[in-house]
Structure 1
Amino acid sequence: MNTTTQHEAHAIAQPAGSRPRLAFVQACWHRDIVDQCRTAFLQAIQTHGYAAGDIDFHEVPGAYELPLHAKRLAGSGRYAGIVAAGLVVDGGIYRHDFVARAVIDGLMHVQLETGTPVFSAVLTPHHFHGGDEHVDFFREHFLVKGAEVAHACAQTVARLAALPAAVA
């Protein structure tokens, strides 16, 4: 099924430098897993008319640092959309609950405060362990999430750009 909108097709026709810029912010905890999201995002966003040079990549130590970094990037006015990727695991201690909630709520606040859409590819699995079965599952799952977040980002950026100025 082809879901490319007229606005996304316009993004393809735009010359480099005039396409909207995007930012991808990645937490480095469990980097071997989260890197899969970045790889899939970059591949999928190019099917929506973006070039690799239209995306700036940033890294932060962990998921807890994602909202502040996203807010600074949104405040710069350079980006039409920001993607945040990370993995917050339940290691059997209470910390998982408040970190996951703070990260997701923080990302939502950033987009509502700045008007720049922020997309979450932050996964928060319960009962994660570092065994091969879980690592392999989440590496594959981040490939899916990377493609999904690229699609959501491209569509949202295009649709927001198409809104009449009176609505914005």
Structure 2
Amino acid sequence: MSGAGAPDLTLQADGLRVAVVAAQWHQTVMDGLVDGALAALKEAGLGEPTVIRVPGSFELPVAAARCARAGFDAVVALGVVIRGGTPHFDYVCQAATDGLTRVSVDTGVPVGFGVLTCDTEEQALDRAGLEGSREDKGREAAQAAVATVLALHPLHPLSLHPHSR
């Protein structure tokens, strides 16, 4: 998504339990994504979300699944994969995408997808929410996860009250 046409999400979701699961590869990009996600969650009224760092984007689905099964209301998955000269890029991107989709659908826990799949490091930096970046995909992923929990609230109101489970 190019950022054009993105919804303006103003969220109030205090009381939710949200986990941010983030890869460690490409530290500068990842620091920007994590900072953007945490800022969005704070603006939505959430306390201290749990932050879990895993080695790379390939490991995001297993961490997200563990968080979903542990009772978190939403998971924000953040990573970056930059194309190289081998098919590794395609395999990691597909595994992360399929795995995170499966976690969300199988558990019913929204997963905000903040995995950048870029051809160049410059593209990743431009989406990382850093000073001078055009986009903040960490913020967008966090907002999407919370907005989905709130949209599904009428179907299962207890999801907003984790201590009532």
The TM-score normalised by the length of structure 1 is: 0.79
Equivalent residue for 1:69?
A: 63
Once the two structures are superposed, what CA deviation does each residue of 1:103-151 show, in whole Å capped at 9, x if it has no partner?
A: 101000011111111111001112x25xxxx2xx523412111221222
Identity fraction in percent: 35
Equivalent residue for 2:45?
A: 49
Measure, in 1, the Cα distance between the counterparts of 2:115 and 2:58.
Answer: 11
Alignment of 1:14-163 (within 5 A): 19-51=15-47, 53=48, 55-77=49-71, 79-126=72-119, 128-129=120-121, 134=122, 137-143=123-129, 144-163=136-155
Q: What is the CA-CA distance between 1:99 and the residue it aligns to?
A: 1.0
Q: Compared with structure 1, are the counterparts of its residues 125 and 140 closer, same or farther at alpha carbon in structure 2 (3 Å cutoff)?
A: closer
RMSD between aligned alpha carbons? 1.9
SS of the counterpart of 1:88?
strand
Q: What is the CA-CA distance between 1:162 and the residue it aligns to?
A: 2.4
State the aligned residue count.
145
SS of the counterpart of 2:113?
strand
SS of the counterpart of 2:40?
helix
Q: Which runs of 5+ in 1 are unaligned?
A: 13-18
> Would you identify which runs of 4 or more consecutive aligned residues in structure 1 move more than 4 Å?
none
Measure, in 2, the Cα distance between the counterparts of 1:163 and 1:64.
Answer: 32
